[in-house]
Structure 1
Amino acid sequence: MAVPRRRPPLLIRPVREPATVPPPLDGPWAPTDDRLDRADLLPLPDGGHGPEDVLIDPEGRAVSGDEQGRLWWWPADAPAGTRPTLLAETGGRPLGIEVDPVDGGLLVCDAYRGLLRVTPDGVVRELTGSGEVHLADNATVARDGTVYFTDSSDRFPLSHWKRDLLEHRPNGRVLAYDRRTGRTEVVTSGLYFPNGVALTPDESALMLVETATHRLLRVDLPEGRATVLADLPAYPDNVSAVGDGTYWIALPSPRLPSVEKLLPHPRVRQLVALLPGAVQPQPRRYGLVALVDGAGRVLRTLHGPSGAYPMITGVRQHGQQLWLGSLTAACVARVDLS
């Protein structure tokens, strides 16, 4: 059964900020590798779309969700065009997906139900409810089973994420779920649409991105002190750890000059937020992912200038393959890194 959707506030409460200027895609960000335009595509069935994140589970299955609240899986070695098998239905909107270290099941951030646990045979159980979590987005799991996850906005549901970005207030936070006690604690708050999150190898900190401010942060644990590592030339989404101290960042769109010019004009932004979605500023159709180290230095970027696989929100390395998810596409994608 579908979960009731929270109604968003009608008006945003924008604040005046200095205008920013998007940097060009040059230097380490130059589009010299355009392999994302030649990715293998594995479709969702039955009109499904929006496989926001993708994960390879211990059984060698590529798992992703869709906007209809379903979780699907493909064999990791499936040829392009392979249709998936249904794993579970959350009744909400699955976003970030991680492996549960307890039994190899899944921990799922559901935008409308909070943090969920899905057993290997597809049984869904709530770990946190929608009453204590507003917009569960992306997660990372410590070796002791603690789940760190982003709660992107306490004002706007996923269906109105653009309003949160236009409001440009620190409405988000990072939470920690302790499975031993069942309690959820705040790690840090006052964040601008916090999105992707990943633990460092020694678990002393989180690598975190803010979509609204296009920043890469390091959040020290347990005190929650945040340090800005980089200002990115695109809006970031999910983050995944490779395991060697490097991290992939999915970047659904290069930054939009028209949006950043509006920052000093809160009343104009308030009016823009009331416009139909089709006439609001649109993300640019451009594929982009980046590999960074623990200091935020860019090691590698992959591009899709034609946007053949658009609005990349999830990225995960499995061997010499990179799996991609999207907020809008009707398929997951896979590219060879070698």
Structure 2
Amino acid sequence: MDSIKLVALFMLGCSAALTLQVYYYSPISPQIFHLPTPSSTHLLLPANTYLQEVNKIGEGQLQGPEDIWVDKEGIVYTATRDGWIKRLHKNGSLENWKWVHNGSLLGMAPLAAGGIVVCDTELGLLKVTEDNGVTSLVSQFNGSQINFADDVIEAKDGNLYFSVASTKYGFREWNLDVLEAIPHGQLLKYNPKTDQVSLLLDNLGFANGVALSKDEDYLLICESWKCRCLKYWLDSELEGTAEVFIENLPGGPDNINLAPDGSFWISLIPLSPKGFEFLYTSKIARHVMATFPRIADTLEAFNKRATVVKVSENGKILAKYDDPNGKVLNFVTSAFEYQGHLYLGSLKSNFVGKLPIV
């Protein structure tokens, strides 16, 4: 047998082995999916570099501050990858306030009775207070452990509304939920008076940020890989129903926060490097990326950018701030407005960004 045939057989064998590896060992069962194309109205606001002008607070002392909250005294709260709830004081000092749980903390919100509630992707909803430390509020739903609580908000009546990003994949496998493109997310409600959890919405495309409207007549829930936010009615003739609030966003909506004027700030994460969106249309490509994570890691190096949008109560984009190449700020996951400034968090930064609103 000549060398050409040997090489051909070798290549054929390698191809067959790769095919078997992908189809039999791939951790996902992907569906045909097309990343939503940003609508023409969203593209009317051109890209800019305003996010590159952020003031870096606590630089080098914070590991992936995913969500941000600022209290009435101007103290910044954030949960970091080392398991701490940290406080950044107005005088510039950093306080390790409460240690909660290593590496698994995401969204947080203030509680009217004092303290905060934080989403732990392994333990559910936790209450953190000055005097009593850390206590569990919700850990199970329908007899199963809540493994990917993502964001939470408290209503005036004391009810907690929170998202579960995926009931199939955990926080450290979040990219598999995006690659599979099968909706596994939920919107849940916890009533502390009855200690009951109820399901409001199911089959959400990576349920992420939640925010109440100024009058609390509806709630917004972000679906990251569907690039849209839904409106869930709480108090009207439409109570208990959902509709699209905004869609075809130029990125996946992560956290969402109510602004003082009744509008909303939404952080948008890049789901795919520019020019590589076609990969999501191919089941084979997604199988390969899921089976061989280093390929996805390589692509991630080209997927650096940050975008934050301000959206009106009617679902119209009012402003857009960018770092188009991730030069200063990359993968923004939270934007919180306080006294004319935005406070910005990111899983991929070591600081909280502070930026004047223009």
Q: State whether TM-score is above 0.5.
A: yes
**Residues of 1 paired with 2:259 and 2:160: CA distance?**
18
| Residue type of the alignment partner of 1:73 | R
Q: Which runs of 5+ in 2 are unaligned?
A: 1-24
**Residues of 2 paired with 1:247 and 1:122: CA distance?**
32
Q: Which residue of 2 aligns with 1:67?
A: 81
Deviation of the 1:322 alpha carbon = 0.7
Name the Cα RMSD after superposition: 2.4
**Residues of 1 paired with 2:93 and 2:148: CA distance?**
29
- Structure with max Cα Rg: 2
Deviation of the 1:17 alpha carbon = 2.9
More helix by share: 2
| Residue type of the alignment partner of 1:107 | V
2:127 to 117, 120, 126: 117
Q: Which residue of 2 aligns with 1:107?
A: 117
**Judging changes above 3 Å, is the alpha-carbon distance between structure 1 residues 259 and 165 closer, same or farther for their aligned structure 2 residues?**
farther
**Judging changes above 3 Å, is the alpha-carbon distance between structure 1 residues 202 and 20 closer, same or farther for their aligned structure 2 residues?**
closer
| Residue type of the alignment partner of 2:58 | P
| Residue type of the alignment partner of 1:15 | Q
1:323 to 308, 330, 343: 343
SS at match of 1:313: strand
**Judging changes above 3 Å, is the alpha-carbon distance between structure 1 residues 90 and 143 closer, same or farther for their aligned structure 2 residues?**
same
**Judging changes above 3 Å, is the alpha-carbon distance between structure 1 residues 258 and 269 closer, same or farther for their aligned structure 2 residues?**
farther
Could you tell me the percent identity over the aligned residues? 26
2:47 to 19, 27, 31: 31
**Judging changes above 3 Å, is the alpha-carbon distance between structure 1 residues 294 and 322 closer, same or farther for their aligned structure 2 residues?**
same
SS at match of 1:166: helix
TM-score by length of 1: 0.88
Deviation of the 1:42 alpha carbon = 1.6
| Residue type of the alignment partner of 1:296 | G
TM-score by length of 2: 0.83
**Judging changes above 3 Å, is the alpha-carbon distance between structure 1 residues 284 and 257 closer, same or farther for their aligned structure 2 residues?**
closer
Matches within 5 A, 1:68-87: 68-75=82-89, 77-78=90-91, 82-87=92-97
Q: Is 1:126 matched up with 2:136? A: yes
Report which stretch shifted further, 94-103 or 121-130: 121-130
Contact 1:233–1:254 (CA under 8 A) maintained in structure 2: no
Q: Which runs of 5+ in 1 are unaligned?
A: 1-8
SS at match of 2:210: strand
Q: Which residue of 2 aligns with 1:89?
A: 99
Deviation of the 1:287 alpha carbon = 2.3
**Residues of 2 paired with 1:74 and 1:257: CA distance?**
35
Q: Which residue of 1 aligns with 2:58?
A: 43
Matches within 5 A, 1:188-203: 188-203=201-216
| Residue type of the alignment partner of 2:107 | G
What is the number of equivalent residue pairs in this alignment?
A: 323
**Residues of 2 paired with 1:288 and 1:71: CA distance?**
25
